[in-house]
Each structure stands twice: as C-alpha cells, then as structure tokens.
Chains A and B, each alone.
Chain A
C-alpha cells in the first residue's frame, strides 16, 4: 500500500539519520573544535560523506535502482545525517567573526571543492566496481 510505503520510508530515513548523526557527534568528540579554529571534525565528516555517497549511489543505481529502502536508509538517512551543511556554514561564520578571513575562505574552498572532488572520485570508483 502506498501509505505503508511512505511511512516505512520516513521511518527508515529517521533511523538512518540517527545513526549518521551519532557517528558525526563521535567524530566531533575525537576532533574537538573551538569557535574560530580550523574545523577538522566538520571537514572530516563532509569529505568522507561525499566520497561515500558517490561510491554508494554509483553501486546502488547500477545494481538495484528500484530497491525500496536502501537509498532512503543509507543515502538520505545515514549519510544525510552524518554530513552537515549547517555546521559548515556556522564554522565559516565563526572564522569570519574571529577576523580570520583567509582561513574562512580556505575552509569554504576546501569544503566545497573538496566535497565535489570526493563525490567525483567516489562515483568513479563505484562505477569501476560495478562495471
């Protein structure tokens, strides 16, 4: 039934989101950050998460594009919760607030270009695996 499928998708995304968020929180404990310093934890989760989503979707879209819950659980849920745009944006705002403009600019560049590069590398690696 369509309504059951919708409810299941939301539940699966919620569960995956919790797992991803807890993993992100664990990384932030391992790489503590004070406002205005280089945000290693956020860079780590966002770049590894971008690599992982490229790998995952390359494999998933080739092998089982119609799978009912794998993409919602792993991509929308786990990786969506593991990576964060808001922390990235506030980290950058805090660097600016601290007067560290060049570091803020470097952080935005590393996150954005690094994230896109990570997706491209993940997609290429995943496509090699399933070819």
Chain B
C-alpha cells in the first residue's frame, strides 16, 4: 500500500518540477537553474514540516514526503548543472548555485522541521 502512496506523490512531483523548470526557462532563458533551485528549496521546506510533525499518518508521510517532496526535488540535476556551469566557464555562477542551494535548502528544511513540532 505504501508503494501506491509513494507512486501517487511522484506522479505529481515530477511533472511539477518540469513545469517549474520550464517556467523559469521562459523567464530567465534556457539553461537557467532558478527553477530547480526553487523546487529544491520549496520541497525541503515542505518535507521538513512533514517529517517534523508529530503523529502524522504514515500514509501521508509516504504520499507527501517520500513521493511528492522526494520527487519534486532532485539531486542529480542539481549536481549536473553545477558541473555544466563550470564546463561552460561560468564558475562564479556554479559556486553561487552550489552555495545558494545548500544554504537555502538546509535553512528551509530546518524552518519546516521546527514549524510543526
């Protein structure tokens, strides 16, 4: 049953990440990392709240946490984009993206985690 909740959450999370990436590309141009940065920070905030909440139904954790937030956010595209920016000789942007993702993502997770405790 848990697998079904994970799958349902992922079914929404993955296309939403694509939509955010495409919206950011229309706004900032192709190759922008702003869309992935936004979903990674937003997903970290929501997952923090889900895992920090007391006595939450395990089905909700599977659906919203593992399925939706886990799939909305991505580590592989984040890592690839940092390396791509370095290869394009945009090292400053690569470092800014790396540092910005870590600082904003970890802060969002901590805020979410503390919010519902």
Contacts and interface: CB of A to CB of B under 8 A. Distances in A.
Interface in A68-85: 72, 75-77, 79-85
Contacts of A111: 75
B92 to A, nearest CB: 16
A125 interface: no
Contacts of A80: 14, 17, 71, 74, 76-77
A9 B2 CA distance: 27
B33 interface: no
Contact of B10 (A50, A81, A112): A81
29 contacts: A10-B19, A13-B14, A13-B15, A17-B71, A18-B7, A18-B71, A21-B6, A22-B3, A22-B10, A25-B2, A25-B6, A46-B79, A53-B79, A54-B80, A76-B14, A76-B18, A76-B77, A80-B71, A83-B75, A84-B70, A84-B71, A86-B109, A87-B70, A90-B44, A93-B48, A93-B109, A93-B110, A108-B106, A112-B98
A57 interface: yes
Interface of A: 9-10, 13-14, 16-18, 20-22, 24-25, 28, 35, 45-46, 49-50, 52-54, 57, 72, 75-77, 79-90, 92-94, 96-97, 108, 111-112, 115-116, 118-120, 123
Nearest to A123: B83
A90 B2 CA distance: 21
A46 B10 contact: no
Interface of B: 2-3, 6-7, 9-11, 13-15, 17-19, 21, 40, 43-44, 46-48, 51, 62, 66-67, 69-80, 82-83, 98, 101-102, 105-106, 108-110, 112-113
Contacts of B67: 21
B79 A115 contact: yes
A76 B114 CA distance: 31
Contacts, number: 178
A45 B101 CA distance: 18
A45 B7 CA distance: 17
